[in-house]
Structure 1
Amino acid sequence: LYLHRKLVLDLLECFPPLLLLLGLWGPVYPLYALPKNLTKAQWFEIQHIQPSPLQCNKAMHGVNNYTQHCKPQNTFLQTPSNVAAALELPKTICKNGLNNCHQSPKPVNLTDCNLTAEKYPNCHQKDAAPYKFFIIACEPTQKRDPPYHLVPLHLDKEVNNVT
C-alpha cells in the first residue's frame, strides 16, 4: 500500500499541469442524457425535428435549455413526413450493430449545427445545410408516445447515397 501511494504521489509531482487540468475540468454531462419527463420519442422530436428552417443558434436554444449545457453537434430534419416514411421501410443495421434502423426513402434538407463557442446559455453554432439521406433508430411506442407502431429515438447518421 505504501509503495502504491508513493508511486501515485511521485507521478502527480511529475505532472502538475495534468493535475491542474483535472481540477478545472468541471462536471461532465452525458451527450445523450434523456431529460426527465420525456420519452425517447419526445426527446428525438425536440432534438431533431425542425419543420421550418431556423438558424442554429435559435434552433439549438430549445435543445440546450433541456440539458443546461451547449450540445457540440446536432442535426435537424426539416421534413417530419420523411421520418414517418422512413419508419415504414425495411430495417437496416445501425452504427452500433443493432437491426432497428431505417433509412429515409429520399434525400432531404437537413440543418447541421456545430458548436463554435461554448459558454452556456450563450452557445454559438455554425450552420450547414446538406441534402442527404438520414438513418434513424426506432423502437415500439411507449405509453406517452404517438399512436404509431414505431417511433424514432435516435438519429443514427447521414448518408450521401443509398446503401
Structure 2
Amino acid sequence: MSNTSNNLSNEELLASNAALKPQVEYLAKQVAQLTKLKMSMVNTPEERDEEEEVPLKANSSNTTRGENHERGATDFKVDIPTFEGKNDPDDFLEWLETVECVFDFKDVPEKKKVKIVALKFLKYASTWWSNLSNQRRRENKAPVKTWLKMRSLLKNKFLPEQYVRDNFARL
C-alpha cells in the first residue's frame, strides 16, 4: 500500500475521533448525572404521599417528536430494560436510574410512564405489580397513575430499609 492511502486512513481516523468526541462528552455527563441520582435514591417525603401533583409540560405530540428528532440527530436507540424483581438492591437502583434517564432522554409524557414501566416487568415484578393493582382495585383505591407514586411503591417493595440505612450511614 502507498503512503497516500495511509494518510487518508489517518485523516479518516481523525475525523471519526472528532465525531465521537461530543458523544463521549454526553456520556460523561450522563455518568455524572447517574451518580448524582443514585446518591439521592432514598425515599423522600414527597414520595410517601398517596398522590403528588406533577407539573406536566404542555407539549403537543408534534412538538415532542420535533424535539426528539433534534435530540436524536445521531439516531440513538434507547429503551427501558426489563425488571424481574430479584432481591438485589444495587440492580434495582441501577434499573431505576436507567428508567429515569430514558424518560428524560425521550421526554416521555407523565401519563405514559407508569404503563411503559409496567410493560417492562417480568417474573416476580410482573406478578407483584398485577397483585398490587388488583388489591388497590378491591380496596377501592385509585389506580397508580403517576411515575412518582409507582417509583415510591417500587422502592418500598424492592429496596430494603436496612439497605437504605446502611448506605445513608456511609454518606
Same structural fold, with TM-score higher than 0.5 when normalized by the shorter chain: no
Flag the structure with more relative contact order, 1 or 2, with Cα contacts below 8 A and sequence separation at least 6.
2
Report the structure, 1 or 2, having the larger helix content: 2
- TM-score normalised by the chain length of structure 2: 0.29
- TM-score relative to the length of structure 1: 0.30
Greater fraction of residues in strand: 1
